[in-house]
A = this chain, B = another copy of it.
């Protein structure tokens, strides 16, 4: 991989990179399409990274389908699929980690300790292997995108980051490989995440200033109408991820809700002037 990239760099090829855990969907496809359009070489990595799963999480059962992924990659004219084994990425004697302080402690970081350290570490590795000019990330994983951008800026990785909009099903459900875990009933309920996010955004833009009443509205809507178990519903500063008390500036409304085996996340950005 590094040899090929080195040769491509010497030919002054511009390299775009889309890191994924596979089980690709239309969200990934939109990243790959943009990547292909803006670069000479588009690289897709498929790696279910054990370091970003806690022991009680779904590393083992995370959905994998190499053939389907290869078909989608072919359709999006991906030039290279980088699909390493866990042993290649974390060989015996592996000892190094990359951590971004604070940003990893909020939102998903609270219920998934160590998760973002695993993410930052594997992305740092992949940036050194793929040496991309541009990295493509999805806004669905807003906290992940923010942490990766912070790491890239802090560690001076010579790469530009583009965060693309969340791609949704017709009914608003954010595309996610974990939607695969949903039963038909849960699948029917899951669009409530996007619906409540939108209601909250509308309320804020209409002048509602009480954050707690907004969050309470979202909480009760989800509790009353679905089987979902709420992990968090928060309004935070979109740059620092710190909880805010007064609405203003760029606010990220973020939710995580368990539907059966599936922990789904979604978010909306609201700019308040």
Residues of A within 8 A of B (CB): 2, 6, 9-10, 12, 93-103, 120-121, 124-125, 128-129, 131, 150-151, 154-158
Query: Which of A100, A102, A129, A154 gathers the greatest number of chain B CB atoms within 10 Å?
Result: A154
Q: List 19 additional A-B contacts (Cβ < 8 Å) besides A121-B155, A125-B154.
A: A6-B158, A9-B9, A10-B12, A93-B150, A94-B154, A95-B150, A95-B154, A96-B99, A96-B100, A96-B155, A97-B99, A98-B99, A99-B99, A125-B155, A125-B156, A128-B156, A128-B157, A128-B158, A129-B156
| Min C-beta distance of A148 to chain B, whole Å | 10
Asked if B9 contacts A151 (CB within 8 A), the reply is: no
Taken together, the copies of this chain in the complex come to: 2
Asked if A97 contacts B96 (CB within 8 A), the reply is: no
* Known contacts A9-B9, A10-B12, A12-B10; is-contact A155 B95 (Cβ 8 Å): no
Asked if A96 contacts B2 (CB within 8 A), the reply is: no
Asked if B101 contacts A154 (CB within 8 A), the reply is: no
Given the complex of chains A and B, what is the CA–CA distance between A215 and B121 in angstroms?
Answer: 39
In the complex, which residues of chain B have a beta carbon less than 8 angstroms from the beta carbon of A125? Answer: 154-156
| Min C-beta distance of A8 to chain B, whole Å | 13
In the complex, which residues of chain B have a beta carbon less than 8 angstroms from the beta carbon of A98? Answer: 96-99, 124, 155
| Min C-beta distance of A151 to chain B, whole Å | 5
| Min C-beta distance of A85 to chain B, whole Å | 14
In the complex, which residues of chain B have a beta carbon less than 8 angstroms from the beta carbon of A93? Answer: 150
- Chain B residue nearest to A95 in the complex (CB): B101
In the complex, which residues of chain B have a beta carbon less than 8 angstroms from the beta carbon of A151? Answer: 96
In the complex, which residues of chain B have a beta carbon less than 8 angstroms from the beta carbon of A9? Answer: 9
- Chain B residue nearest to A89 in the complex (CB): B156
A-B contact pairs, 20 of them (CB 8 A): A2-B156, A2-B158, A6-B158, A10-B12, A94-B154, A95-B100, A95-B103, A96-B101, A96-B120, A96-B151, A97-B99, A97-B101, A98-B98, A98-B99, A98-B124, A98-B155, A124-B124, A128-B156, A129-B156, A131-B158
